[in-house]
Amino acid sequence: MALVAGVDSSTQSTKVVVCDAETGQVVRQGRAAHPDGTEIHPDEWWRAFQEATSDGLLDGVASLGIGGQQHGMVTLDEHGEVVRPALLWNDTRSAKAAEDLIRELGGPAEWANAVGLVPVASFTVTKLRWMAEHEPELAARVATVMLPHDWLTWKLTGEMVTDRGDASGTAYYSATDGVYRVDLLEKAFGKVPHLPRVLGPDEAAGRTSTGMLVSAGTGDNMAAALGLGLEVGDVVVSIGTSGTVFGVTDKLTPDVSGAVAGFADATGKFLPLVATLNAARVLSATAQMLGIELSELDELALSVKDAGGLEFVPYLDGERTPNLPDATGSLLNMRRHNMTPQNVARAAVEGMLGGLGAGLDAVRAVGLEAQRILLIGGGARSAAVQGIAPEIFGVPVEVPAAAEYVALGAARQAAWALTGQYPAW
């Protein structure tokens, strides 16, 4: 039995699944935590990868793929040393840099037409501008810029490569034209550092020192789409650290408002996506405020038919869509009679889902079909989320069996690179 492995190097942890290359059946898995925060030294990802794959987890594995959190800015000097801790997708300090870059190019439409998206603080290009302005001595040392999954691939193979899907989240790569927009990178950073070579969907990045094949890898959302085997009419709503709404399409329609990011997927198509900063942690923060467990939050939220007029604005970490990095959360329409734990719990779930529902409307507006919703991520396990989501989204909602879909998608890509054929599983 040939084995393949998929890695999900996410914001919070590294998860690894080892699968039968022919059937996709998971035969073993590992996990290790990452430190919390919005910036992290890449060595922590390597430490977590080594911990998650300890005790022979990768023994007998012929091919491995990596799905990594998108947008993170990894900077290396001419010796391959990390210049500064990586700024992650959820770091919003570059919000003003995003505004400046939009203005300098002539407005949102210019960016959407150039690279399929409009800069916000999450995207790599804005982090590079922030670094150039606020850390010029460090910026001067930067010789190479990579993304988190690129860095892990490089550590494994010594090859500086990426894929079209993850590259499309930088805002200096055109997924439509298949080229880096080095003019935009230079506008942001003042120079053009070395960038990873972009591989095709079924290309291999190289081999490890032990001879294991490593596939191109991709971003976490692209890997999740691979893991789920998305078809036209499927829309994924993922409720994790971030919230995402996305689906696969053959044709990219730029959204000049910037609400929808026109990413590439990991198969040669496109992955229009809306992301929110506030998702599952809205529920955990509300449970903490009420002094209860998440299971009790579910019970409270489902014990009432509505929130009694309360409206929860869930911008507890600022927000990416809409682009309000300095926004704060609010609980509105409070009266003595409706300030109950049940109503607060219900309002929190409705508020979080309402933000994702706005994302669903946005991807529909650029032509994505939505015949059913696939609800995934840690937050999808919530009974309250499952019960309330159909009311918010207005279409049938299915909850696939709990699985590590990012890691499974990375494993599917690894099998593709190994065999040259897209896996049927």
Q: State the binding site for substrate.
A: 70-71
* Largest CA-CA distance found in the chain, in angstroms, rounded: 67
Dihedral sign of CA atoms 384, 388, 393, 397 in order = positive
Has 220 been annotated as catalytic? yes
The amino acid occupying position 310 is L
Residue 329's nearest CA partner among 355, 309, 297 is 355
Rounded to 5 degrees, φ, ψ at 186 are -65, -35
| Pick from 223, 274, 264, 270: nearest CA to 244 | 274
CB 185 within 8 A of CB 192: yes
| Active-site residue, from 8, 91, 163, 220 | 220
133: tokens are 């302005």
Q: Which two tokens stand for residue 161?
A: 């490569």
CA 16 to chain centre: 17
* Distance, CA of 292 to CA of 247 (rounded, Å): 35
Question: What is the rounded distance in angstroms from the CA atom of residue 172 to the CA atom of residue 190?
Answer: 13
Which residues are identified as catalytic? 220
